[in-house]
Structure 1
Amino acid sequence: MSTAMSRVALSVQGAALHAVFALPRPVRRALAGPPVRRDGLELALDAQLLLRMVALGDRRPAVPSVEDARARVEAGRTILGGPIVDGVGTRALTLPGSDGPIPGRLYEPDGLPTGSPLLVYLHGGGWVVGSMDTHDGVCRYLAKHANVRVLSVGYRLAPEYPFPAAADDAYAAFRHAAENAESLGADPLAIAVGGDSSGGNLAAVVCLDALRRGGPRPVFQLLFYPATDPSMRRPSRDLFGDGFLLTDDDMTWFIERYCPDLSARTDHRLAVLLADDLRGLPPAYVATAGFDPLRDEGNAYADRLREAGVPVVKRQHDDLIHGFVTFVSLGSRFREAVSEAAGALRTGLALRSRANVVDLFRPTG
């Protein structure tokens, strides 16, 4: 918001933002401006309006401190706000990690029977910012609309804990969930991993780690605009690296803090796209956004999975921007995209779950 608006309580700013999104479509179009088109694609009105509101805000410092960046993201969570998804309970957990305890939060839809599928979810934020709280909304949404338990993981962040700390925590959390499924109310044969952006990267890394290490493996991977190869630039980074929320400078800032060692940026536990062999990985739903600098590497990863014989749905939402899973409380276009992913997750897990397959497809009449 403007300097004046920055002095207004975050809850008031949030109410104003939601009021704008509730305006009639012609008014929202007038506020957003003429349609934005690039690379043969047209930006969704909801996405354009959000970008317009962000553009009215304070300019971020050219080189933010880690503390300022984290505070900004947490403030954004309050502003986005919206009603809490009802019918979903939560409980705090502590998960064992190789270097100490890892905080977790289990989301449980009301009435979901024991022995049902579970999604281990890894939040986005460039491995540096973000938290279980900033992604509370999407975890609740997926839990309710995919009818699964969701285990959100508070993995360690850089630069305090650089690569591969986050990857280590992500794998440890999945391994714990798989080996203690009963205590989580889950079916050990129907555990998926998922995440957005850097969290999508970590989810993909968990699948590769689990395959290579032996032992329990995820049966499905839900990847939202995943980072898959920080070692090279692709056209979408130049096309959409400014003005579409996630910027080229942001991406450089994040990777410099998570993996300052240039030689490590081709390691398969970071650049999963460069892994020699992807055969045997679990089925995947890979959702990318048309106006996202990460678009091309996410699509390239889906293509490599398919070439390796992995069942995969590559879904590019042509009209959306990076971060859309965290905007489910705002425009309907964001909810549509996440609802589609929830349906894919629910179906993919039901095919593996003894407890849910009958209930999911029972007659409704």
Structure 2
Amino acid sequence: MNMNSMLYLVGFLLATMCLLVLGVNVWVLIDDLRTIDVPPSVLHPVKLRILHYGFHLTTTWGNIFEKMKICSMSQFVCFVQDSLAPKENLGMFVKDLHFGTIPVRIFHPKAASSKPRRGIIFCHGGGALIGSLDSYHNLCAFLARETDSVLMSVGYRKLPYYHHPSLYYDCLNASIHFLNSLKVYGVDPSRVVICGDSIGGAVAAIVTQTLSSRTDIPKIRAQVLIYPVLQAFYFQSPSHLTNINIPFLTQEFFITCVCKYLAIDLSWKDTMLTGASISPSAWKKYEKWLSPENIPKRFKTEYRPPESPTPFNDAAYLETKHAMNVDISPLLADDKIITQLPEAFIVSLHWDIVRDDVLLYKKRLEDHGVPVTWHHVVDGFHGCMLLFDKKFFSFPCSVNIMHAVVSYIKGL
């Protein structure tokens, strides 16, 4: 091959690559504009569209790289996410440790204290697919500084290599280790809070339920559940039917995360969404907790119940029934467990696909005498808290939630 032919081939390959990149980017933009709904009460709607386009584009390229066997989608998204989040320690001593094989990051205020501090166990969100110690570093440093607390952030195992129950066991075991080591960190055993957002909020609730009857370790003082994902099998509530295309947790992304986390074949997605995978006996058992009748009317203004129930699919039930286990769906815990739980601070977002599950869990806690402080954000969308320090890309709802969480923890 002569030099001219070589240059022609290189030029052709570069042009083809540029066209491919441009084509993917334009396709994602058109798809985003066509499908994504920006809530009417969210301030800075253009900013939200730009952010979601960036997220959609990143996950799309991640899926392309995964099909090309370059790296997994979650690895690529985490790489981008971490690269765009420069870390600030904000007056904290920060140390990376391992509790056994579990990576954790400890945030300890530099200022001296005359008495033991409160402790915070933090479990980050990300659908078990994305999110990391680094992407939540600034949030955890801010939370530790503003509440004058020693905070442990758990770097649990995630997809694509680890499925349920890895996340749960990592957070549970790290929590037990921390609770057994409070003296080492100068933490008051009577003031330990467990906190998490999204799936991190779910695992915070599950760990709290698991440890509620333990007498060999300090009791958790309070649970801070920030738009938690509290069940993974019933998708017919008003928020699941009306908030399907709201950033950043669309119905498609949500059900994909659920299936991947629970090792359910993606071919069952549509069946799960219609409710055909819930057996009549299971619904009879859980209807008292999950029925839309338990949701306040003001959250059902756009809700239209399905005209007729979808026929039960026994094969789908057998493939997906483990989603009803309480170590996945803490909303379904027995009454005797619920009554033992510590007080809770619960954040719900109006424009969130999992909003109603949060409201239902709030009701369950209150019905059993568990004190609940409820913070509802009318302009909030799933994942917004993580943007609180992103300057131009921050939102009022992001700052609102952070300040509410800090205020609640400081008041304990």
TM-score by length of 1: 0.78
Q: Please list, as runs of the form range in 1=range in 2, the aligned pairs for 1:94-105 lying within 5 A after superposition.
A: 94-96=98-100, 101-105=101-105
Give the secondary-structure state (helix, strand or coil) at the position aligned to 2:50: helix
Q: Which amino acid aligns with 1:192?
A: V
Residue in 1 aligned with 2:106? Answer: 106
Residue in 1 aligned with 2:232? Answer: 230
Computed over aligned residues only, the root mean square deviation of the Cα atoms, in angstroms, reads: 2.6
Any conservation in 1 of the 2:209–2:341 contact (CA below 8 Å)?
yes
Q: Please list, as runs of the form range in 1=range in 2, the aligned pairs for 1:45-124 lying within 5 A after superposition.
A: 45=44, 49-55=47-53, 58=57, 60-61=59-60, 64=63, 65=66, 67-79=72-84, 81=85, 84=88, 86-96=90-100, 101-113=101-113, 115-124=116-125
Q: Which amino acid aligns with 1:299?
A: L
Residue in 1 aligned with 2:41? Answer: 42
Give the secondary-structure state (helix, strand or coil) at the position aligned to 1:58: helix
Q: Deviations over 1:85-143 (max 9, x none)?
A: 521220111113xxxx2111101122152621110100111122221111112101111
Q: Given the alignment, which residue of 258, 264, 268 partners 2:322?
A: 264
Q: 1:158: Cα distance to partner?
A: 3.3
Q: Deviations over 1:201-235 (max 9, x none)?
A: 01000110001444333111111110001110122
Residue in 1 aligned with 2:404? Answer: 340
Q: Deviations over 1:320-359 (max 9, x none)?
A: 11112210113251122211111101212xxxxxxxxxxx
Instruction: Find the structure with the greater CA-based Rg.
Output: 2
Counterpart Cα distance in 2 of 1:123 and 1:59: 20
Q: Given the alignment, which residue of 244, 248, 253 partners 1:250?
A: 253
Change (3 A) 1:138 1:48: farther
Any conservation in 2 of the 1:83–1:329 contact (CA below 8 Å)?
no
Any conservation in 1 of the 2:62–2:72 contact (CA below 8 Å)?
no
Q: Deviations over 1:48-89 (max 9, x none)?
A: 52333433673743993482233223313433x367252122
Q: 1:165: Cα distance to partner?
A: 1.8
Any conservation in 1 of the 2:88–2:138 contact (CA below 8 Å)?
yes
Counterpart Cα distance in 2 of 1:317 and 1:272: 22
Q: Please list, as runs of the form range in 1=range in 2, the aligned pairs for 1:62-211 lying within 5 A after superposition.
A: 64=63, 65=66, 67-79=72-84, 81=85, 84=88, 86-96=90-100, 101-113=101-113, 115-211=116-212
Counterpart Cα distance in 2 of 1:158 and 1:58: 19
Q: 1:159: Cα distance to partner?
A: 4.1
Counterpart Cα distance in 2 of 1:296 and 1:117: 31
Residue in 2 aligned with 1:220? Answer: 222
Q: 1:294: Cα distance to partner?
A: 1.4
Any conservation in 1 of the 2:144–2:150 contact (CA below 8 Å)?
yes
Question: Would you say 1:297 and 2:357 are equivalent positions?
Answer: yes
Q: Which amino acid aligns with 1:237?
A: H
**Higher mean C-alpha displacement, 185-194 vs 158-167:** 158-167
Any conservation in 1 of the 2:74–2:159 contact (CA below 8 Å)?
no
Counterpart Cα distance in 1 of 2:42 and 2:360: 22
Change (3 A) 1:336 1:258: same
Q: Tell me, which stretches of 5 or more residues in structure 2 are unaligned?
A: 1-19, 26-36, 264-318
Any conservation in 2 of the 1:102–1:154 contact (CA below 8 Å)?
yes
Change (3 A) 1:124 1:59: closer
Q: Deviations over 1:226-273 (max 9, x none)?
A: 000111012212222214211111111111121135121111111000
Counterpart Cα distance in 2 of 1:73 and 1:59: 10
Q: Which amino acid aligns with 1:265?
A: A
Change (3 A) 1:63 1:256: farther
Question: Would you say 1:286 and 2:342 are equivalent positions?
Answer: no
Any conservation in 1 of the 2:62–2:76 contact (CA below 8 Å)?
no
Residue in 2 aligned with 1:308? Answer: 368
Change (3 A) 1:208 1:59: closer
Question: Would you say 1:328 and 2:388 are equivalent positions?
Answer: yes
Residue in 2 aligned with 1:14? Answer: none
Q: Tell me, which stretches of 5 or more residues in structure 1 are unaligned?
A: 8-35, 349-365
Change (3 A) 1:159 1:54: closer
Any conservation in 2 of the 1:82–1:329 contact (CA below 8 Å)?
no
Any conservation in 1 of the 2:168–2:203 contact (CA below 8 Å)?
yes
Change (3 A) 1:62 1:134: closer
Residue in 1 aligned with 2:268? Answer: none
- Which structure is richer in relative contact order (CA contacts within 8 A, separation 6 or more)? 1
